[in-house]
Amino acid sequence: MFSLKKLFGKDDKFFDLLEEGADAANTSVTLLGTYLQHLASGASPANLDDFVQSRRKEKRVRHEMTEALSKTFVTPLEREDIEELSFALYRIPKAVEKIVERFAIYPGKIPHAAFQRQAELLKVAADAVVFMVKQLRGGTTIERIREANDRLQYAEGEADKVMLELLKQLYQGPCDAKELVILQEIYELVERAVDRCRNAGNVVVQIVLKHS
């Protein structure tokens, strides 16, 4: 077991910011699921401002992290680890916001059912990231991190398979060229958001392995 408190001393600021960043990323993923549920029920979709606010919160957290690091005496290696994780977390809500922006300008009725499984896997990945980040505060074992990372890697692998199946249906379906291009881009954006979660999880694994 290791504890990053040995690296940062008694100051919990870094843990607070990392966890806040992970929660903000997870919130954006949850909002995407809600957005799709509203589409499925025929209700008006969630306000896009919610996604913008989630991404802005993540950006604020990142800026606070950069400021805190500049004022704290830590080794350069540890500073780089935290900066890398902070950036990885920031990229998740940014990716989700792009997905919803495409939904908002989609010329027609969004095939919400096609995105449902992707959104579910994205949520599994985001939940795993939150768990992994929150393990850093009190110390953890590499076994617990690996178990969570296994869930994350499974979600990422399944998301790849789902995207390929969706693309297969798209290529063999009756949709016109414009619709094919648009839907392909959105499928890939959702899959990329899962990749962003995987990247954040990989950073946590690297940190734990380094200090285990």
Average pLDDT estimate for 144-171: 93
State which amino acid sits at residue 98.
Answer: K
Q: Report if residue 1 sits inside a domain.
A: no
CA distance 125 to 180: 27
Q: What is the pLDDT of residue 7?
A: 47
Average pLDDT estimate for 122-141: 91
Neighbours of 50 (CB within 10 A): 15
- Note the pTM of the prediction, 2 decimals: 0.85
pLDDT in tens, 52-105: 777 778 888 888 888 877 776 664 347 888 889 999 999 999 999 999 989 888
Q: What is the pLDDT of residue 46?
A: 59
Q: Which residue has the tokens 């009725």?
A: 109
Q: What is the pLDDT of residue 11?
A: 57
Range of the domain at 73: 10-211
* Among 94, 137, 128, 110, CA closest to 200: 128
Q: What is the pLDDT of residue 41?
A: 75
Query: Structurally, how many domains does the chain consist of?
Result: 1
Q: What is the CATH number of the domain that holds 170?
A: 1.20.58.220
